[in-house]
């Protein structure tokens, strides 16, 4: 499962799947996360299930940030509909104890070595 961040708000499930399919990635499913109430507009991120590690590596390589070469400009991901998207391996959110906040759970999980600080922790 891949986590895709910084999506244009106009991108829906079908378009997200098409972006990866057009890149030669075998996509099982794609889902853009939306608000629960009201207009159900995109939150600007989503998940793509590519099924296996080989496809995951292919997707990560295709959408990997590209260095500018000048040393001053930070690396940027592929631009899709005017936004630099970020593609990472999705990681399950740490389990919360009763009364524990999301931040507490993430901190406790990192202390136990379950994740690293640079790992993106997402719930799906």
Model pLDDT, residue 46: 95
Q: Which two tokens stand for residue 124?
A: 């799906």
The conformation of residue 10, written as its DSSP 8-state character, comes to T
Q: What is the pTM of this model?
A: 0.71
How far apart are alpha carbons 86 and 90 in whole angstroms? 12
What counts of helices (H) and strands (E) characterise the chain?
3, 6
Q: What is the pLDDT along the chain (124 residues), one digit of tens a residue?
A: 999 999 999 999 999 999 999 999 999 999 999 988 777 789 999 999 998 999 999 999 999 887 766 666 566 678 899 999 999 999 887 677 777 666 565 556 555 655 444 444 444 4
Superfamily, domain 2-90? RRM (RNA recognition motif) domain (3.30.70.330)
Task: Spell out the domain ranges in the chain.
Answer: 2-90, 91-124
């Amino acid at each position: 499962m891949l986590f895709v961040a910084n999506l244009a708000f106009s991108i829906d499930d079908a378009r997200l799947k098409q972006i990866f399919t057009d890149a030669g990635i075998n996509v099982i499913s794609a889902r853009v996360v939306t608000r629960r109430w009201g207009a159900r507009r995109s939150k600007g991120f989503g998940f793509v299930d590519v099924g296996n590690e080989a496809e995951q590596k292919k997707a990560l390589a295709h959408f990997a940030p590209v260095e500018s070469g000048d040393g001053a400009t930070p690396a940027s991901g592929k631009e899709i509909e005017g936004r630099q998207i970020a593609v990472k391996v999705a990681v399950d959110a740490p389990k919360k104890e009763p009364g524990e906040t999301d931040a507490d759970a993430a901190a406790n999980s990192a202390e136990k070595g379950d994740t690293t600080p640079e790992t993106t922790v997402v719930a799906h």
